[in-house]
Structure formats: structure tokens, C-alpha cells
A and B are shown apart, each in its own frame.
Chain A
Amino acid sequence: MIGDYTFGEFTSILAMQGFAGLSLFSVFVLMALGLAIIFGQMGVINMAHGEFMILGAYVTYLCSHLATEYVPVLFPVYFFAAMTLAFCASFGLGVLVEWGLIRHLYRRPLDTLLATWGLSLILQQVYRSVFGAREVGVTLPDWMMGSVALTDMIEIPINGLFVMGLTVLIAFAVYLMMARSTFGKQVRAVLQNRVMAGAVGIDTKRVDRMTFGLGCGIAGIAGSAFTMIGSTGPTAGQLYIVDTFLVVVFGGAGSLIGTIASAFTISQAQSAMEFFMSGSMAKVLTLLTVVGILMLRPQGLFTLNIRR
């Protein structure tokens, strides 16, 4: 394959494909972080995760509309407000869902899968009824459009950089919260031994609710970021759910580092393969490899030893 290109071109390809992989990586990480918290820490399979993400996207869409209509001055920075609101909306819905649905099902993980699938169908139809079946686009402020040309060949899209920066920020924040904060310690305590955690005075129910809400909230931010590069439609969430679950499982459930590492591996592998074969085949091969590795190493890349 190298034969067709000069050496200079080939390095550019590598750089650009690497960057393409990185932007896929950001999407995966943003989606998977929330899921990793919910699935990895709580053992709940949230099939409606994609719909929480789309909620964030729709909130961003609404904000972009409101900003252009009423406060055009603030338009260049509306995105930050939108992102906060997206987090709040998804967090709120998440807490509500945990209260109404999930908390009754903690002993039956497979059933959470079915119930949240039902929830995802309902949410999809809600979006369709409220926002219409058409896909909606978000208008981006000018400073987010365009690209930085590094060399003649290599151009880096600004919104891609923005999403990447956001990903690093959020990943770091989640890490801090889980590893350092009191809340994080409580979450891990509940995960490792629920009864004992309760006995030492941790409100395990509240921790569950907050954890679920947090996971959903991060999905909301993911959706908000996602509007910059993709589309927002009622069923867009479904496209990502299987990929995201694979990322989480491949990384080793319960390990945030694992999730990030697996998102990186899968996205880079897919983007590298996409250059040399058709998009469909690249996807099939990536998924097959992941499933194959999981069959050999079912616990995933990284594991925590947890007493259940």
C-alpha cells in the first residue's frame, strides 16, 4: 500500500488518520465513561444510554436556537451554557429513572437490560413527537468552524480539537471524582461491599442514585459535544450503543483506565483500517477482533479484583 505514496505523503496519512482516530476516540470515551460508571460500578446495563446522550444533543440544539433568536451577542459562547444544561437535563432524567425503574431491579441485571431497552423506545418516540422525525443540525459559532493547517497536507479541525480537549477535561474530572473525592470513595465502597458500606453509615441508595445520574449526565455532555460533528435524530443514539458497550467490556468493566485504553485501541485500529479497506469491512474486522480477544480474555484488558 505504501507503494502508491511518497514517504512524505505517507507520514501525512499517518498523522491525519491518527487524528481521525483521536476524534473517534473522543466520541467513544465520552460515551463510554458514563456507561463505564453505570455498568462497571453498578452492574446495571443501561440500553437507554444512547437516548440520554441524544437528550443532551437536543438540549444543545434548543440552546443554539434560543441563542440565535434572543441573545445573538452571546452566540459565540452559548455552547458552554448548553453543555452545562445538557448535563443537568440528562442528570435529572437519570435520577428520575433510577428512582422509578432501576432501583427495583438491582438484583436482576439482565432485567435492567430489557427495562432500559423499553425506556429507550419510549424516549425515541418522545423525541420524535417533540422535535419531529427529521434530523436537526446545530449552528456552530464561527470560531469553532474551520481548521488549523499544520502543513500542506495536515489540517486539524478546530471542533475536533475542542471535543478532544473536552474529553481530556471530563476524563480527568471523572478520575478525580472517583479516586479522590468523598463521593468517589463512597461509590467504590458500595461497589466493593454494599452491606459493610451501609453499616459504616453510607447512604447506599443515595450513592446509587447519584452514580446513575452522573453516568447519564456525562452522556448528556457527550451528546452536546457530538452535535458538533454528527447529527441529532431520534434514533441516533442507537447507532452507538453496541460499540460503546464493547468499549466498556473490552476495557474491563469497573476500570476507568481500561475504558480509556480500550477506546483508544478500538478507535485507532478502526481508523487505521479504514484507510486501507472499505468502511464496512473495517468496522466488521474491528468488531470481530474485539469479540475474538474477549473470547480469549473475557475479563477485558484491565481488571479489578472485586469481591461480589
Chain B
Amino acid sequence: MTSETFLFKQREWVALAILAALILLVLPATVDIFRLNLVGKYLTYAFVALGLVLCWGLGGILSLGQGIFFGLGGYCMAMFLKLEASTPEATKIQSTPGIPDFMDWNQVTELPFWWQPFHSFGFTLIAIVAVPTAFAYVIGAAMFKRRVGGVYFAIITQAVAAILTILIIGQQGYTGGVNGITDLRTLLGWDIRTDDAKFVLYFVNAVLLIGCLVLAQFVRVSKFGRLLVAMRDREDRVRFSGYDVSNFKIFVFCLAAAFSAVGGAMFTLQVGFMSPSFVGIVPSIEMVIFCAVGGRLSLFGAVYGALLVNFAKTSFSESFPELWLFAMGGLFIAVVMAFPFGLAGVIREHVEPALLKFTRSVALLRPGAAAAPSSSK
């Protein structure tokens, strides 16, 4: 048995190679830039799904507010880009040139102080990860220290998502309101709207995603990951063994938030705007379904889940807009009722054994090949 290797098991190395080949080689080579940009957008949701695998699949903490962190990361990026696009020359038609257009429309005459630091790209990069993580820490610390979990946690994260959406929409002089922050043009002088830029951004996004996946895997196979699973299944016993369960929960929740935030920032870069419709309850629940479809225990499944559901959404809503909600609703129910472990579960339980049987029978035909690849459960 050669399955225990560094970080990934053998079959997971294969899976990683397939995934990397798919998103770094096959897709860029076969689809046009328009579709590739869409794929890039889907992949930004995969960041959120990765976080959910750790948080929900392993840790048993269902957050219905991942949109909060996706949105915060995206807004941090959007603020920087918007400031860059709002030079005094570009906005000279306004009554106060040099501030973002929506501020001018809302009679804000001065850039608010908390927008100021977003002139700096370095600060923005830090803020993209730090702001959502800090926010997650506050929520997590308040909840987990008091041993609030499960259903209650889900509902409260949902409420926080609702609050943030209303706040962003209500404070439109500072946030752009329902419209969001639109018309983003350049990143450090580099036009992000061109096809070339979209191509480059796609690769940046894909590489970041694989980086996050490897990091998530590192967490998963570490002692911490095992503790998470133990905690999910028997929280009391972990606590009685002397571990501080709440700290683990806070950490994994923060990590999931950080992943989501990176996804949000990449979303802003690739799509060119950010709006409150990614912060609220509906997108947050949709993000959970990406993870559930892929398989809540599988990091690879999360990426495929995000890709597949979004692809289905785009094509379905192009061909049968009326049927889309039926399909989506059916998907939710089917995944929960029939395939609780999603695509990854189906593959592990049905496809892999079949493959194994096939390779074994091939191996039997060839007496020389003794070491059949083994599936490790």
C-alpha cells in the first residue's frame, strides 16, 4: 500500500493533477475568452465552497453567511479600484471631482476617512483578507465561546448577512447602495477590462485557487483536521480530552472566511463590479449548495460543485429560464435526500469500485502486474 504520501494520498495526487490540468490547460485551450471569463467567475465561488468543506463538512459548522465574507473581500477590492477610476480628471463633470461618482450623486462632498487607506494597494491586499477574517473572528468568538452551534449558528449568520445587506443598501452615499460599486477600470494602471487582462486574471485566479486547495488539504490532514472531525462527531469527548473546542471552531470559521474573501476579491477583478446581491441570504445559501453538490467532505468536489452548478445555471437560464428554479430546487432536495455526500460520494461509492474492479480484472489477465492500485477508504 503506497497510499500514505506527503500531504495527499496517491489517488488525491491524481485528482489534483486532473483538476490542475482541467482548469489550467484544457479549459483555457478549448473555450473562448468570453466563456473562460465565466469559468473564472465560477471558480471564485469555489473558494467559498473550499472554506465550507473545512467549516461545514469537517467541522460541522454550517454558516449561511459566507456571502458576508465574499462580499467584504470583494468590496475591499472594489473600493481600491473605484478610487483608482475616480481621478479628478475622469470625474471632472461632478460637483466634487475626485470622489467616486455615487458619492457625488448622494451629496457626499468628501471622501470618508475609512475610504482613505484604500488608495494604497498594499493596504487593500491586506484588508481583503484581514477585514473579513477579523469580522469572522468577532462572530465566531461571540458564538462559539458560548457554545452556540448548529442550527442557531446558521440562523444567526443568516441574520448577520441580512443586516449587512440592509446596511450597504441603506448607506448608499458611502457604499453605492443597491447598484453596488460599478464601472471599475484599471488595476495599478493596467486595464482589467481587456480580453488579455481577463486571460491573465483567469490564471491568477486558478493558481490562487489551487494554492488555497493545497492549504486546505494541509489543514485537513494535519492533527487539527482530525480534531475537527472528532469535534464534529463527538464534541463532548474532544472537550473532555482537554482541548478548547471553541478555538478550533473560531479558527476554521476564520479560515473559511479568508478563503471566501479571496474569492470575492477575484470576483470583483474579473467581473468588474461588486454589489450587495452577493452579500445577502440567497447567495450565501447558494454557495452552500455548491459545496453540497460537490460533496461536503471533498475539497476537489467543492471546486467541481461550484463549476457544475454555475454552468448548469447559466445554460439552464439561457434555454429554459422558467424551469431554472425547478431544477435548482430539485437539485437541493436530491442532494440532501439521495446523495448526502454529493458528487464526490457518488464517485467514491460507485465509480471508483467499478474502476478498481476493472483494473483488477485487467491485472489478473496480466500475471506480471502484481501491485494493483488500491483504494483507501
Binding site for B on A (CB under 8 A): 43, 45, 101, 104-105, 108-111, 113-115, 117-122, 124-125, 128-129, 238, 242, 245-246, 249, 278, 280-281, 283-284, 287-288, 290-291, 294-296, 298
Is A290 a contact partner of B150 (Cβ separation < 8 A)? no
Prevailing SS type, chain A contact patch: helix
CA distance A111 to B335 in the complex (A): 10
CA distance A294 to B289 in the complex (A): 27
Q: Most chain-A CB neighbours within 10 Å: which of B64, B151, B281, B282?
A: B151
CA distance A121 to B150 in the complex (A): 23
Q: Taking CB as reference atom, which chain A residue is nearest B148?
A: A298
Other contacts beyond A120-B329, A280-B170: 20, CB < 8 A: A43-B151, A101-B333, A105-B337, A111-B336, A114-B332, A117-B332, A118-B332, A121-B328, A122-B330, A242-B158, A245-B159, A246-B155, A249-B155, A278-B170, A284-B163, A284-B170, A288-B163, A291-B163, A296-B146, A298-B143
* Smallest CB separation, B91 vs chain A (Å): 27
- Contact (A110, B151) CB under 8 Å given A121-B328, A125-B322, A287-B162: yes
- Contact (A249, B337) CB under 8 Å given A287-B159, A287-B162, A298-B146: no
Binding site for A on B (CB under 8 A): 62, 64, 142-143, 146-148, 150-152, 154-156, 158-160, 162-163, 166-167, 169-170, 281-282, 285, 288-289, 292, 322-323, 325-326, 328-333, 335-337, 340
* Smallest CB separation, B352 vs chain A (Å): 24
Which of B143, B166, B285, B333 sits near A295, CB closer than 8 Å? B143
| Set of chain A residues within 8 Å of B332, measured between Cβ atoms | 114-115, 117-119, 121
CA distance A114 to B340 in the complex (A): 11
- Contact (A121, B329) CB under 8 Å given A111-B336, A246-B155: yes
CA distance A277 to B152 in the complex (A): 30
| Set of chain B residues within 8 Å of A101, measured between Cβ atoms | 333, 337
Is B151 a contact partner of A280 (Cβ separation < 8 A)? no
- Contact (A291, B156) CB under 8 Å given A125-B325, A242-B162: yes
| Set of chain A residues within 8 Å of B170, measured between Cβ atoms | 278, 280-281, 284
Which of B160, B325, B326 sits near A291, CB closer than 8 Å? B160
24 A–B contacts from the bound complex (CB under 8 Å): A45-B154, A105-B337, A111-B340, A113-B62, A113-B64, A114-B336, A119-B332, A121-B326, A122-B325, A122-B333, A124-B325, A128-B322, A245-B159, A246-B155, A249-B152, A278-B170, A284-B163, A288-B163, A290-B159, A295-B148, A295-B156, A296-B146, A298-B148, A298-B152
CA distance A300 to B332 in the complex (A): 30
CA distance A280 to B171 in the complex (A): 9
Q: Taking CB as reference atom, which chain B residue is nearest A245?
A: B155
Is B169 a contact partner of A118 (Cβ separation < 8 A)? no
* Smallest CB separation, A211 vs chain B (Å): 17
Chain A to chain B: the 10 pairs with minimum beta-carbon distance, closest first: A118-B332, A280-B170, A122-B329, A121-B329, A125-B325, A295-B142, A298-B148, A115-B336, A118-B329, A118-B333
Is A283 a contact partner of B166 (Cβ separation < 8 A)? yes
Which of A105, A113, A290, A296 sits near B151, CB closer than 8 Å? A113
* Smallest CB separation, A300 vs chain B (Å): 9
Q: Taking CB as reference atom, which chain B residue is nearest A285?
A: B163
Is A118 a contact partner of B328 (Cβ separation < 8 A)? yes
Which of A45, A114, A246, A295 sits near B292, CB closer than 8 Å? A114
* Smallest CB separation, B163 vs chain A (Å): 5
CA distance A245 to B282 in the complex (A): 15
| Set of chain A residues within 8 Å of B328, measured between Cβ atoms | 118, 121
| Set of chain B residues within 8 Å of A296, measured between Cβ atoms | 146
| Set of chain B residues within 8 Å of A104, measured between Cβ atoms | 337
- Contact (A105, B336) CB under 8 Å given A113-B154, A249-B155: yes
Which of B146, B166, B322 sits near A280, CB closer than 8 Å? B166
Is A287 a contact partner of B163 (Cβ separation < 8 A)? yes
